[in-house]
Structure 1
């Protein structure tokens, strides 16, 4: 375990050196946050009432929390594991004594920690200054929300790892990764809250792991749902994390056997 902590800390320090990229990311996040807030508030104004249980302030809070989570959960996907499979470097990773997924998870934790602080909190400050944020009524919403954010990062890592591990069997990954990004951004609630969906699409979204990456942590942290409801959402996050971990580990074992058969 100390080795994983060291790896996470090293990744945090590595990303903290990218100051210009961080500043550019903060600016972009903030601008797109303003655009998304404008769109959601215009929709609420046109309807003349709440939509999906959201008031104007709750909708603005939803957007700013989503912008804060965008970088830590890496909503647009990663390419690291898939590229290492494509180039054959994954064979070296599999020979190391540390499990493949554990190493990449430690790196993910370090990366997400920096991105949450460096690129997540500044857009929230913009939100405080521009629109204000809806605060939870219950003090329990804060620890539950933080736990839910941590689980969202874990679930997003595992789902992204599954997409990347499919490179063991797919020659070209870009189409699959693009499809995943589109579906994830829609069904997670990143674009709009899933309670704004038509009933059939909301039902579809809720039987996938995607709401656990965005909708659940935002609802828990903003206090839009009660602590009891947040606990239910956290339970679903834990369930999805367990399922995705089993699938990802099975793919690692199958991929390893595939490399051995091919002489890798």
Structure 2
């Protein structure tokens, strides 16, 4: 219980910390809305050129896909983070390892607090913009929202674990920015953030579905939009859970091996 209380305190502190950046939040909402309009225009043009429907998406469904994707952009931190790698390179991780909380648990708690604020402050407002400008196709079944909320939590978790593994590579690499850029590009493509995976060529869709990336974006969007019925979405929820467990084991192993070879620069 004490550790759970500590993680809860970290999550709350992270939420409060990000709630103080009001100007940055407003700028993020504006930017997110503008890019949402650009993405929606591109997808709607593609559907119009295809005759009003493209691989199961009509104009309203495509617009909904865009705005839900924009809402997820900040909470899952699709452009990556560098805090863990910076603490490793600066030697501050030695202090983190002395704390009674697990290093990954502490950063996950920070992630949840941060994601909670970003979802409310930078995710929902662009969706409201989308609802006014393009309209949204939202499910009528309340169960879709419950399953969608679970999918959203697991999407944030899987995204955190993938990003954490890239950061943990700093135990062996002097610089991880290049690796982060490659990971970010691959994740944004294979997760379905840029375009729905249903629009991929068959070979690329097969590759994407063999990775955890769709669990970060495509799955929560399909569940929250009601494009997939709640019962079918439960199978995707199970797939997300499986990826979360696999990545948790991989991240913990990376951390343990990295700690064994840890050498703090400067002494």
TM over 0.5: yes
Match among 54, 59, 68 for residue 65 of structure 1: 68
Q: 8 Å contact 2:89–2:265 — kept in the other structure? A: no
Selected match of 1:27 from 16, 27, 30: 30
Deviation at 1:52, TM superposition (A): 2.2
2:223 alignment counterpart? 220
Match of 2:166? 163
CA RMSD of aligned residues (A): 1.3
CA contact (8 A) 2:137 2:225 kept: yes
Match of 1:131 among 128, 131, 134: 134
TM-score, normalised to structure 2, is: 0.97
TM-score by length of 1: 0.98
Aligned residues: 264
The partner residue of 2:114 within 100, 111, 114 is: 111
**Superposition map of 1:42-81 within 5 A:** 42-81=45-84
Q: Distance in 2 between matches of 1:138 and 1:131?
A: 22
Q: Displacement, 1:49?
A: 3.8
Q: What does 1:1-264 align with in structure 2 at a 5 Å threshold? A: 1-259=4-262
How far did 1:261 drift?
10
Q: 1:137 offset after TM fit, Å? A: 3.5
Q: Once structures 1 and 2 are overlaid, which stretch shifts more, 82-91 or 103-112?
A: 82-91
1:138 offset after TM fit, Å? 2.2
In 1, distance between residues paired with 2:163 and 2:219? 18
- The answer for unaligned runs of 5 or more in structure 1 is none
